[in-house]
Structure 1
Amino acid sequence: MNASSNPPPAPTRTRAPRLWPLSLATTGIVLALHLGTTLLWRGRLPDPVATHWGGSGVADGTGSLTTHVLLGAFTIVLIGILIPVSAGTVSGAGNRSGVPLLAGFGNGLVVGLGAMFISGLVGQLDAEQALGTRMEGWVLIGGLIMALCWGLASAYLVRAALPARSLNPETAAPYAGAGATGVAPGTVISSTVRGPAWLLALIGVLTLAMPVLAFTAGRDNPAVFWSMVPGLVILVVAGVTCLAGRVVADEQGIRVYGGGFFKMLHVRPEDIAVAEGREITPAEFGGWGLRVSGVGVAFIIGTGPGVIVNRTRGGARIYSVATTEDAAVIAGLLNSLAINQGAGSST
C-alpha cells in the first residue's frame, strides 16, 4: 500500500476543549471559598482588615471588609476569565501547543490567589489589629501545593483533550521503507512514555518534604522560606517534564512534550541526517530525564526502545519511546522526511 493512498485526514479543530469548563469551575470554587470564609469568620476579624501584605508576608495595608471581598473577587474572576480567552486566541491562531500551558498557568494562579487571601484571613483571626499580622504559613504552603498540582493537572487534561491523529504501526508500516514516496499530509505518530515508579515516588516525596523544610527553616526568618520556594518549583517542573513525555513525529520533524505539554528537543526535517530505532539505556547518556552528553541531548526515561536522530548540524537527539514498533515507525518516517528534503534541495 502506497502512503499516498491513505485517505485525507479530518480537519483539525482549533478550539480548546475542556479549557472553559475547567477555568469556570476553578474560578467558581475559589470564589465561593473566598466569599464563604470571609462570611464565616467576619465576627473574628479586626476592623479594618488587612488588604495588602509585604514580601515577608506581614500585613502593611488595611481596608474595609467590603474592600477585601470586592478586591479578592475581582482579581479571581479577572484571572479566571482572561486566561481562557487568551488561550482561545492562541488556539484559533493554530498554535495549539501553548493552550495547555496557559490553561495550567491560569488555573494554578487562580487557586494560588485564593490560598493567599484565605491565609491572610486566618492570620488575622482574633487579632486586635490587622497591621503586623502574618499570613498563616501552613495554609499558604498547602494552597500553593494545591495550585501547582491543579495547574499541572489542568494542563494535562486540556492537552489530552486536544485532537490528534495518531497512526498505529499497521497503518504506518509503509513508512519503514517509504523513501522518497513522502509523508501523507496530516500524519502524526505519537508515543507516550513514563518513568519508573520508584523515581516518580522519590520526586513526589521530595516535593512534599521541601515545603515542610522551608516552613520550619523560615519560621523566624521569612526570607529563608521564600528563598527555598524557587527550588521547590524547579523540582516539580523538572520532575513533571523529564519523567514523562509524549514523543511526536510528523511533517514538522520530531519533538518531545515533557509532561505531555512542554515542547523540547525539536528536530526539523531539514536538520535530520539519519534516524535509527534501537534499544537505549540511561547509562549511555548520563541518567534519567533530560540529559546532555558527548553524543548529544537525550530525553531518556529508562532502558528500552528509543529513536536516535543524527542531525546535519550539532549533536544527536535521543528519545525514549513506548515500544519497539514505535521506534521503527518513527525512525522510518524521519528517514523519509530526510530523503524528501534531500531530493527537494537537489532539484
Structure 2
Amino acid sequence: MTASPNPPPATARTPRLWWLSLSTLGIVLAAHLGSSLLWRGRLPDPVATHWGATGVADGTGGLTTHVLVGAFTLVLLGILMPAAARSLAGPAGRSGVPLMAGLGNCLVVGIGGMFLSGLVGQLDKPAALGTRMESTVLVAGIVLGVLWGIGSALLVRAALPPRAPAEGDASPGPASAVHAFAPGTVIASTVRGPAWMLALMPVLAVGMAVLGFTAGRESPVAFWSMVPGIAIVLGAGATCLAGKVVADDAGIRVHGGGFLKMLHVKPADIEQAEAREITPAEFGGWGLRVSGAGVAFIMGAGPGVIVQRPRGGARIYSVATMADAEAMAGLLNSLAAGRRQAGSST
C-alpha cells in the first residue's frame, strides 16, 4: 500500500500573509511620511513626539524625529508580525498564523492612525506642548485597524491549506515509552530561535539607543534611562533565544545561551515525559514563557519534550530533532520508573 504524502506545512503556502502585511505597511507608511511632508509648513517647531495617557502632548522634538520614530515603529511591526506568524504554524491544526497576521495589521493601522491624529491635533498651533490628539482621527484609526485586522486574519485563514492527517496519525507511537539506558548516559540537544528573532534583539537595542540619543540632546536623563532597557533586551536575547538542553542521570535542564542553567527538573520530580511536536501558540510565544500549561523554553514550532511533575506545572523544552526528543523522553521515563520501583521496594 502506498502511503499518502504528508501535506505541506501551513507556512509553505502563505504568500497572502506577506502580500497583505506588506501592502498594509506600505499604505500606512506612505500616509505617515506624506502627511508629515505635506503639513510641515503648518506644524509648530518643534513638533510633539510624545503624548501622555490623556492624549496631551508632553514631549517635543524635530519633525525628522517624529518621522523616524513612526517609520521605525511601523516597519518593525510590519515585518516582525508576519515573520512571527510563519513560526507559529504547528501540527494538528494548532496554527496561530491568521491570529498573528490579523494582530499585526491591526497594530500597524492603529498606530499609524495614532501618529496621524497627533499631527492633525498640531495643525496651525503656535506650540506643540499641550496640544491633543485629534480624537476623530484616532478613533477612526483604531476602528479601521480592528476591522482590517479581522478581515486580513480571515483572508489568511482562507488561504491556508487544509491539514490532511498523515498516515499513522490516528495511532501514534508511545511517546512516553520506557527504554533501558546505561547509567551515565547524557543526551544533549542545541536549539536556537528563528533567525528573524535573533536578528531582532540587536535591532531593538540599536533602535532604543538611537531614539534615546535623539531625545537625550534635550534631556540626558532620557538617554540614560534607556540603558537598563538595552541591557535587558540584549541579556534576554542571549539567554532565552538559544540554549542547550541536557538530559542525564540528574534529570533535564536547559542552559540558556549555553551558560545559564534554567528549568532543571530532577528525577524525583519527574512524573512522565512525552516527546511530541510543539508550537509557540500553545505556550504564549518564543523564549522563556510562563503560561497555564507550564514553563516553556520554546524556540518555535518543532520537536519538544514535555515533562509532567507530581507538583506544579509542566516543563516544556524545544529540542533540535524528534530523535533527540524521543531519546530524552525515554531516558526521563526510565529515571522516573526506577524511582518508583525503588520507592515500592522499600
Q: TM-score range by the shorter chain?
A: 0.3 to 0.5
Using the size of structure 1 for normalisation, the TM-score is 0.47
> Whose helix proportion is higher, 1 or 2?
1
Using the size of structure 2 for normalisation, the TM-score is 0.47
